[in-house]
Chains A and B, each alone.
Chain A
Amino acid sequence: MFEGRDLACLRGERLVFGGVDFALSAGDALLVTGANGSGKSSLLRVMAGLLRPVTGTLHWRGQAVAEDREGFAAELRYVGHLDAIKPVLTVAENLAFWARLAGQGPDAVARGLEALGIGHLAGLPARVLSAGQRRRLGLARLIAAPAPLWLLDEPTVALDTASVAAVEAAIAEHRASGGIAVVSTNAPVSLPEARRLVMDEAEPVETVADGW
């Protein structure tokens, strides 16, 4: 359902990674691990279509992603290092914008906030949130605006153990309903029967910050 063949990514003049292959079908999860700078974030950005791979192809439902970027984008949710939160809007307003953009009604917002345990913060301006709460608000988009493909870049950073469990439960439910999750992480995240992709570190890494 979601396949990548021989993907390579170039940032500046440095090859971040090369020869990455994966094939995922409905209900699968892919756990991407590797040292800092090994290209996990770049791989997820390539998967999302934000970065163009220098070689290789991505296929979604049998069709090349490059042929219909916008159609593919509508079927994925990407959670990167930045949480895309506007400090002047309330927690609920922040989530409502992304939910509405994905065609969801107002009840989706409450559902998303409850799933990540931040329902009680709905009316607060987002600028008062802690790092972990911001992260949870970013992840709440996954629930409020469902999509078959989740690309999660270090989703558990700054989260407490209860929230990590909530994220794991959300991923499990997503997979049970036929979704695909790609998770890059260095922290232990429980993903039963996940495929693994270890980004090897053949290249020197001191010049490029992870993710850009």
Chain B
Amino acid sequence: MSGLVTILRRDLALASRRGSEASLALMFFVLGTVLFPLGIGPDPNMLARAGAGLLWVMALLASLLSIEKLFQADWEDGSLDLLVLSGLPLAGIVLAKTAAHWLVTSLPMAVASPLLALLLNVDAKGVAALSLALLLGTPTLSLIGAVGAALTVGARRGGVLLTLLVLPLYIPVLIFGAGAAESAVAAQGARAHLLVLAAFLLAALPLCPWAAGAALRQSVE
């Protein structure tokens, strides 16, 4: 357990030293969202209707964009070999690195989402549901992405392959995530959607690190 905390802390330290990589995902999320009213017009009603979905798609793309690098640097400098040889379970290593990735990229997005939701004129009733849904849904995205990243680490044009592998698996999270805010606005309550998102997370939490660990063992060969 302490070994996994050590890995988590190292990845957080690396992210804070590099800086730019961590803020890149958040910048992409914020700037991309701000561009939408310019593209589809400033009609408040249209933005209010599309807002939650827009934010979810942007969060999903920002997560995908950054997860590609999850194991890349460690693979390139030989750290991945040593992590595999550390004697720690591979699934635990994946979990620690994925947790660090989520804390650095997706958590700031969830925190920034209420502000952007107001910017897009999303009904105030839906804002809380939207942020909660992002908090529950984005860890699942990171975990699924980690499997793709482990499978494609070291592959040429891994990014394209990763997108093709992972994007279809993101769709259920997107549907229920965006649906949460919509049904909250329609006064039906977001409880059902949030529970489904929580179920996705509980399923992904043991399965994805295990699968990604097996893929990592292949990729160091």
Q: Which residues of A contact B (CB under 8 A)?
A: 48-52, 70-71, 73-76, 78, 80-86, 88-89, 93, 97-98, 100-103
Query: How near does chain A come to B91, taking the closest CB pair, in angstroms?
Result: 11
Q: A52-B221, A73-B84, A101-B3 are in contact. List 18 more A-B contacts (CB 8 A).
A: A48-B81, A50-B84, A50-B220, A51-B221, A70-B88, A70-B89, A71-B87, A73-B85, A74-B86, A80-B81, A81-B78, A82-B77, A82-B81, A86-B14, A88-B18, A89-B17, A100-B3, A101-B6
Interface string of B57-89 (1 = CB under 8 A from A): 000000000000000010011110110111111
A86→B78 CA distance, assembly (Å): 10
**Given A73-B84, A102-B86, A97:B78 Cβ within 8 A:** no
* Residues of B124-157 contacting chain A, CB below 8 A: none
Chain A contacts for B17, CB-based, 8 A = 88-89
Closest A residue to B80 by CB, please name it.
A84
Q: Which residues of B contact A (CB under 8 A)?
A: 2-3, 6-7, 10, 13-14, 17-18, 73, 76-79, 81-82, 84-89, 220-221
Closest A residue to B5 by CB, please name it.
A100
A74→B88 CA distance, assembly (Å): 8
Closest A residue to B221 by CB, please name it.
A51
A48→B86 CA distance, assembly (Å): 11
**CB <8 Å contact, B89 and A50:** no
Q: Which of A76, A82, A88, A93 contacts B78 (CB 8 A)?
A: A82
**CB <8 Å contact, B85 and A76:** yes
How many A-B contacts at CB < 8 Å in the complex? 65
Chain B contacts for A88, CB-based, 8 A = 14, 17-18
Chain B contacts for A97, CB-based, 8 A = 6, 10
**CB <8 Å contact, B87 and A73:** yes
**Interchain residue pairs with CB less than 8 A apart (10):** A48-B85, A50-B221, A51-B221, A52-B221, A81-B78, A84-B77, A88-B18, A89-B14, A101-B6, A103-B2
Closest A residue to B87 by CB, please name it.
A74
**Which of A70, A89, A101 counts the most B-chain CB atoms under 10 A from its CB?**
A101
Closest B residue to A145 by CB, please name it.
B86
Query: How near does chain A come to B218, taking the closest CB pair, in angstroms?
Result: 10
**Given A101-B6, A101-B7, A80:B78 Cβ within 8 A:** yes
**Given A51-B221, A93-B13, A86:B79 Cβ within 8 A:** yes
**CB <8 Å contact, B82 and A49:** no
Query: How near does chain A come to B77, taking the closest CB pair, in angstroms?
Result: 6
A163→B9 CA distance, assembly (Å): 32
**Given A83-B78, A86-B14, A49:B221 Cβ within 8 A:** no
Closest A residue to B85 by CB, please name it.
A73
Query: How near does chain B come to A197, taking the closest CB pair, in angstroms?
Result: 21
